[in-house]
């Protein structure tokens, strides 16, 4: 019986972005698979976050293309890429510190109504959805707490819940375990697995190798702005190019 590879979710071809004379992303051609937990790893400064920013429209690439589920999205503004089905978190949490947890959730889905949402205004359906998601990530008891008073790990959970408010098909997480205690890292990993089982595709940038190797189906390794290896975690872990990039051996 002939087997077929899983459908492509996100592809880049020749993606390039320079800052001054430095190529942060250098002709990167990568494919991430639909329905999988994909990881993007690499040493500090290897271009991972710049790659994320090019894909999600935060910055415009100098060259190359980004294709999402067969549709070219290169250079589109972030809100249009979000509408296409891609949600993302950031390396440093982006929450409104003087707004409550619930208000942050409502702003995530209706950013144009920021002024109206201060004080908790929002449609009953949006508010109900926000509360269900807060239950799911385990911070529903904090809905009336200002985000500034959350731990950093709780802010990470809030940011993930806010991403889910938009019902994205693909979720891009930039260092979800960064600065988070081990118990919350486990909680975040469990959420990613559960959401993947429900059909969400993930692309995760992460330095926690234990998390990457236990969670991912497919790993892409960046060095100096371009992919140098990819495959299942077991193969990537043993690849001499990866050992050289990380350890210089």
pLDDT, tens digit (0-9, with 9 covering 90-100), for 29-42? 999 999 999 999 99
Same domain for 12 and 86?
yes
Regarding whether 109 and 43 lie in a shared domain, the answer is no
Asked if residue 217 lies in contact with residue 38, where contact means CB atoms within 8 angstroms, the answer is yes
Residue 249: pLDDT band with limits 50, 70, 90:
very low
- Same domain membership, residue 177 and residue 88: yes
Q: CA 173 from chain center: how many Å?
A: 2
The CATH number covering residue 65 comes to: 3.40.50.300
List pLDDT tens digits, range 181-203. 888 899 999 999 999 999 999 99
State the Cα–Cα distance between residues 51 and 128, nearest whole angstrom: 35
- Is residue 144 predicted with pLDDT exceeding 90? yes
Spatial distance between the Cα atoms of 154 and 216, rounded to a whole number of angstroms: 23
Q: Tell me the residue range of the domain where 144 lies.
A: 96-149
* Residue 2 falls inside a structural domain: no
pTM of structure: 0.89
Percent of the chain whose pLDDT exceeds 90 = 69
Render 81-92 in DSSP notation, one character per residue: HHHHTEEE--SS
pLDDT higher than threshold 80 for residue 116: no
Is residue 155 in some structural domain? no
- 172 with 243, same domain: the answer is yes
Q: Is residue 228 one of the residues assigned to a domain?
A: yes
């Amino acid at each position: 019986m002939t087997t077929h590879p899983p459908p492509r979710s996100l592809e880049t071809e020749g993606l390039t972005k320079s800052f001054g004379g430095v190529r942060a992303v250098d002709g990167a051609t990568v494919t991430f698979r639909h329905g999988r937990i994909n990881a993007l790893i690499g040493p500090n400064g290897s271009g991972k976050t710049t790659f994320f920013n090019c894909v999600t429209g935060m910055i415009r690439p100098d060259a190359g293309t980004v294709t999402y589920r067969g549709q070219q999205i290169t250079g589109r503004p972030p809100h249009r890429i979000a509408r296409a089905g891609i949600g993302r978190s950031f390396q440093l949490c982006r929450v409104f510190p003087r707004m409550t947890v619930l208000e942050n959730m409502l702003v995530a889905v209706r950013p144009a109504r920021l002024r109206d949402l201060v004080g908790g205004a929002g449609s009953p359906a949006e508010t109900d959805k926000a509360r269900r998601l807060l239950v799911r990530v385990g911070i529903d008891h904090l809905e009336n707490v200002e985000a500034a008073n959350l731990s950093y790990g709780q802010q990470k959970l809030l940011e993930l819940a806010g991403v889910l408010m938009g019902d994205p098909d693909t979720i891009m997480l930039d260092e979800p375990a960064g600065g988070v205690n081990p118990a919350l890292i486990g909680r975040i990993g469990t959420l990613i697995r559960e959401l993947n089982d429900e059909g969400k595709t993930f692309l995760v940038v992460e330095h926690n190798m234990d998390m990457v190797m236990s969670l991912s189906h497919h790993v892409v390794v960046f060095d100096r702005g371009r992919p140098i290896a990819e495959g299942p975690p077991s193969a990537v872990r043993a690849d001499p190019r990866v050992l050289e990039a990380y350890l210089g051996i």
